[in-house]
Amino acid sequence: MSIVPTTRCHDIAIVGGGCAGFQLLHALSREPGGDALDIVLLDEAEALSRSWCFWSREPHPLDFLIAKSWDAMAFHAPGVDLRLRLAPYRYHYIPGHRFFAFFEDAFLPAHRNVTRVRTTVEAITRESDGFTLTGPEGPWRARQVFSSRVPPASGLERTHLWQHFRGWFLRMKRPVFDDGAVTLMDFALPGTDLRFAYVLPLTPTQALVEVTAVSRGVYATAQYEALLEHYVRRRFPSVPFTITGLEEGRIPMTDRRFTRTGPAGETLIGTAAGMVKASTGYAFERIRRDSEQLARHAVAGTAPAWPATTGRFRFYDQLLLGLLDRQPAAGARVFAALFDKVPLPRALRFLDEDTSLREELALITRLPCAPFLRQLVQGRAS
């Protein structure tokens, strides 16, 4: 794609070619009339090395990118060893390289209505008839702007609680993995922070094994490496292995209030719009649903809704975040009770914010109440 400074007024500018920017582009292309829109995608050249997993009951518009799906989920905590059927859900894995290769090599060349510019958008300003976006290669003008740029004043970087992780793609000398079940949490890691291993078994000999922690600060690489070594040696003693790849990242766990619109009135998308579920770090499916409604409204010229966490689900997230922050040891007990005592589909529906108040009350009575009461007394997370 060439870099073409232009002042022509596009119908739509999308800032950021990540999970939200590309899902929105895809949703626009599926919307009747979407392919007639003149779209400019302004994206930094920075390559994202990340993969996405999500649970779902329905086919996903990008399901041809799914590398592996599971029908069962395992969970391990002291005194709890579960292998649960996911039906009616399935858990899916989209490797980042597949996602980006599809958009770069197939989608963008096939959609001539989309101009892609590698650039950093430095400012967005409101004009009488739309927006001006500026950056080293700009300016650009557009009637509508969808931006995954986190507004600099949002304070997201100052979040004090993070879910952070590092993983190894492993090839084992012998088959050791149950590749019919993803291990969502295995609390077999030493330390006082809330820490667990997450295992995506791709074949009986290959898996992505991640160590994840929830804490105020992220770790030095050597600390993740020591935890990974500890976990793999303990779970699969004396099985030789090779590390074929790495994945790492950090996700803010925050109950701060996000907004649908940015400082210039641009429509925020993805992380910037609060699409990452505060208490779990999952966002892929929520971004898919949001992208579909944004695309409908963009074509119709109407105002989109904002499916952010509000009301009682925000309260549950706040309570859980505060608990994970102040009582990390209780976190494992709470998750163990959630997966042990609540039917898995209901627990997943709860995490999707799709349960009724009645179901939530029934669910809450199955969780250990002392840590929640303590948290209610001590106050919420900041």
Site membership for ligand FAD, residue 131 (CB under 6 A): no
When the beta carbons of 34 and 281 are compared against ligand FAD, the nearer one is 281
**Which one of residues 13, 16, 338, 371 is an interface residue with ligand FAD (CB under 6 A)?**
16
For tokens 């004009």, the residue is 127
Q: Which of residues 343-372 bind ligand FAD (CB under 6 A)?
A: none
**What is each CA distance from 136 to 3, 16, 122, 183, in whole angstroms?**
11, 15, 8, 45
Which positions ≥6 away from 172 have C-beta within 8 Å? 205, 206, 207, 236, 239, 240, 241
- How many residues line the site for ligand FAD (CB under 6 A)? 29
Nearest residue to ligand FAD, scored by beta-carbon proximity: 18
Pairing of strands 130-134, 39-43: unpaired
**Which one of residues 11, 31, 43, 290 is an interface residue with ligand FAD (CB under 6 A)?**
43
Site membership for ligand FAD, residue 168 (CB under 6 A): no
Site membership for ligand FAD, residue 20 (CB under 6 A): yes
Site membership for ligand FAD, residue 54 (CB under 6 A): yes
Q: Which of residues 226-265 bind ligand FAD (CB under 6 A)?
A: 249, 251
**Which one of residues 12, 15, 25, 348 is an interface residue with ligand FAD (CB under 6 A)?**
15
Q: Where are the alpha helices (DSSP H) in the chain?
A: 19-30, 96-101, 108-110, 221-235, 284-300, 311-326, 328-341, 344-351, 357-364, 369-378
Retrieve residue 311's tokens.
């009301």
Site membership for ligand FAD, residue 209 (CB under 6 A): no
Nearest to 50 by CA among 111, 108, 100: 100
When the beta carbons of 40 and 330 are compared against ligand FAD, the nearer one is 40
Find out whether 90 and 52 touch, Cβ atoms under 8 Å.
no
Site membership for ligand FAD, residue 306 (CB under 6 A): no
Min dist CB 48 to ligand FAD, Å, is 6
